[in-house]
């Protein structure tokens, strides 16, 4: 009888199992073509409100704009040791932001990549726009980084020591260069970065970095405007080495930078210093051998206790993993001195920031920015409007 009871119980269990398995069999499954594929994107919708030097062409009156800062979509394909990612931005026509073909198959060697790649210049420029402390990057990062260029690069992280190197060669069609010389031959840029993270535990990070870049300009004119002054849609771009004078034809330029970041739980300090030296086509130019420099320093703190994630393999910070219902405050100061003897501006910006993370996908940001313009080119660029104020709002959704 006990055996019979057991038997009927077993029979019932088997019956239930059969039903579950049949239900499973009727569930839809993914077709093979989806293997290794990934799709996603992001929206950054910004509101800018500004006056003073930012709107000097309209007597410094209050200007404003509502606009899509970034409207992105990507496809990723992973395939053995190779992966490819195409990242498009549609906010202003269709632009390839990144088209990266990457090989990670060398056991103890570097990761190598080909395509439109982010040049290894500046901690802030290398941080994803979706993970920044402030809405816009500092004038320093925007001055020195050409962001994504067509070329090839390699990088390697050594987990034992926390060292990481990266080096690449690119077509230099940035900063006003056409990408070609007078014979239609490629102009190259080379960039390299070395970082060391002696401390790299979650919430306790020390990051040191240095980078350098050489850019062949083959006599093309260096673009006048180096940075907008940390607000996107203003009529006047404040950091301008040619204001009050003229742009200059450049044979090549060199840049170097230093990075420091220290994290103690919810508190993160990031600082950078960089310089740019021009070698002009006309060696009699005032600007030949002229050295420009700048810095940026920010402090950010999560009121709700989270800590940004240090991605040691890339040497950058990201928003906290799994962040949800979090508040972050931040302050930043930056300066880029683009002035020389007779022209150019020297711009200092101070920013206060407040961010609310609804969750990992959704973030709302508020930045208050105050910039000050000086230098011999200031009167020509902004007249008497030497101060500039802005309120910037962002809604960001990523998926």
Instruction: Assign 245 to helix, strand or coil.
Output: coil
Residue 82 sits in the site that holds its own copies (CB under 8 A): yes
Tokens of 272: 């950078």
Residue 64 sits in the site that holds its own copies (CB under 8 A): yes
- For the bound state, the minimum distance from the C-beta of residue 321 to its own copies, rounded and expressed in Å, comes to 15
Tokens of 254: 């060199």
Binding mask 22-61 for its own copies (x = CB under 8 A): --xx-xxxxxxxxxxxxxxx-x-x---------x-xxx-x
- For the bound state, the minimum distance from the C-beta of residue 239 to its own copies, rounded and expressed in Å, comes to 19
Residue 88 sits in the site that holds its own copies (CB under 8 A): yes
CA–chain centroid gap for 46, Å, is: 17
- For the bound state, the minimum distance from the C-beta of residue 183 to its own copies, rounded and expressed in Å, comes to 4
Region at 40 (left for phi over 0; alpha for psi -120 to 50; beta for the rest): beta
Q: Please identify which residue in 107, 108, 160, 182 interacts with its own copies, judged by CB under 8 A.
A: 182
What's the CA gap between 2 and 396, in Å, rounded? Answer: 65
- For the bound state, the minimum distance from the C-beta of residue 222 to its own copies, rounded and expressed in Å, comes to 22
**Only segment of 63-71, 138-146, 195-203, 377-385 that touches its own copies (CB under 8 A):** 63-71
50 or 157: CB nearest its own copies:
50
Name the nearest CA neighbour of 269 among 205, 364, 336. 205
**Only segment of 92-100, 211-219, 259-267, 314-322 that touches its own copies (CB under 8 A):** 92-100
Q: Please identify which residue in 21, 108, 284, 322 interacts with its own copies, judged by CB under 8 A.
A: 21
13 or 161: CB nearest its own copies:
13
What's the CA gap between 271 and 273, in Å, rounded? Answer: 7
DSSP 8-state code for residue 320? P
Residue 99 sits in the site that holds its own copies (CB under 8 A): yes
Residues 119-158 that bind its own copies (CB under 8 A): 150-151
79 or 199: CB nearest its own copies:
79
Residue 303 sits in the site that holds its own copies (CB under 8 A): no
**Only segment of 216-224, 336-344, 375-383, 391-399 that touches its own copies (CB under 8 A):** 391-399
The string of DSSP codes covering 178-237 is -SB-TTSPBPEEEEEEEEEEEEEETTEEEEEEEEEEEEEEEEEEPPSEEE--S-SS-SS-
* Size of site (CB under 8 A) for its own copies: 81
What's the CA gap between 297 and 320, in Å, rounded? Answer: 20
Q: Please identify which residue in 163, 186, 249, 352 interacts with its own copies, judged by CB under 8 A.
A: 186
Residue 399 sits in the site that holds its own copies (CB under 8 A): yes
Inter-CA distances, 323 with 319, 327, 362, 363, Å: 7, 10, 10, 10
What's the CA gap between 255 and 260, in Å, rounded? Answer: 17
- For the bound state, the minimum distance from the C-beta of residue 192 to its own copies, rounded and expressed in Å, comes to 19
Residue 106 sits in the site that holds its own copies (CB under 8 A): no
What's the CA gap between 339 and 377, in Å, rounded? Answer: 7
Exposed/middle/buried for 296, CB within 10 Å: 0-12, 13-18, 19+? buried
Residues 346-365 that bind its own copies (CB under 8 A): 358-359, 361-362
Name the nearest CA neighbour of 141 among 155, 131, 127. 127
Q: Please identify which residue in 107, 183, 283, 322 interacts with its own copies, judged by CB under 8 A.
A: 183
- For the bound state, the minimum distance from the C-beta of residue 380 to its own copies, rounded and expressed in Å, comes to 20
- For the bound state, the minimum distance from the C-beta of residue 273 to its own copies, rounded and expressed in Å, comes to 31
């Amino acid at each position: 009888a006990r055996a019979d009871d057991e038997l009927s119980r077993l029979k019932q269990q088997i019956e239930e199992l059969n039903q579950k398995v049949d239900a499973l069999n009727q569930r839809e499954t993914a077709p093979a073509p989806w293997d290794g594929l990934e799709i996603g994107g992001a929206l950054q919708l910004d509101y800018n409100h500004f006056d003073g030097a930012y709107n000097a062409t309209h007597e410094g009156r209050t200007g404003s704009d509502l606009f899509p800062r970034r409207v992105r979509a990507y496809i990723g394909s992973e395939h053995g040791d190779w992966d490819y990612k195409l990242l498009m931005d549609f906010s202003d026509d269709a632009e390839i932001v990144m088209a990266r073909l990457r090989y990670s198959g060398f056991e103890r060697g570097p990761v190598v990549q080909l395509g439109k790649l982010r040049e290894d210049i500046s901690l802030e420029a290398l941080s994803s726009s979706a993970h920044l402390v402030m809405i816009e990057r500092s004038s320093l990062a925007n001055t020195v980084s050409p962001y994504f260029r067509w070329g090839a690069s390699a990088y390697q992280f050594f987990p034992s020591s926390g060292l990481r190197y990266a080096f690449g060669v690119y077509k230099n069609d940035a900063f006003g260069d056409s990408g070609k010389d007078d014979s239609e031959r490629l102009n190259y840029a080379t960039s390299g970065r070395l970082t060391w993270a002696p401390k790299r535990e979650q919430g306790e990070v020390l990051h040191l970095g240095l980078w350098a870049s050489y850019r062949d300009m083959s006599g093309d004119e260096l673009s006048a405007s180096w940075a907008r002054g940390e607000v996107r849609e203003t009529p006047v771009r404040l950091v301008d080495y040619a204001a009050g004078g003229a742009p200059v034809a450049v044979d090549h330029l060199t840049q170097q930078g230093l990075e420091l970041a220290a994290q103690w739980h919810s508190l993160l300090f990031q600082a950078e210093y960089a310089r740019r030296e021009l070698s002009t086509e006309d060696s009699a130019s005032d600007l030949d051998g002229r050295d420009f420099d700048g810095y940026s320093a920010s402090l950010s703190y999560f009121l709700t206790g989270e800590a940004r994630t240090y991605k040691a393999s890339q040497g950058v910070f990201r928003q906290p993993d799994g962040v949800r219902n979090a508040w972050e405050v931040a302050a930043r100061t930056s300066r880029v001195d683009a002035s020389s003897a007779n022209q150019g501006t020297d711009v200092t910006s101070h920013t206060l920031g407040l961010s609310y993370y609804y969750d990992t996908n959704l973030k709302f940001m508020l930045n208050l920015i105050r910039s000050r313009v000086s230098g011999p080119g200031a009167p020509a660029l902004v007249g008497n409007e030497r101060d500039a104020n802005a309120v910037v709002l962002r809604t960001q959704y990523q998926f």
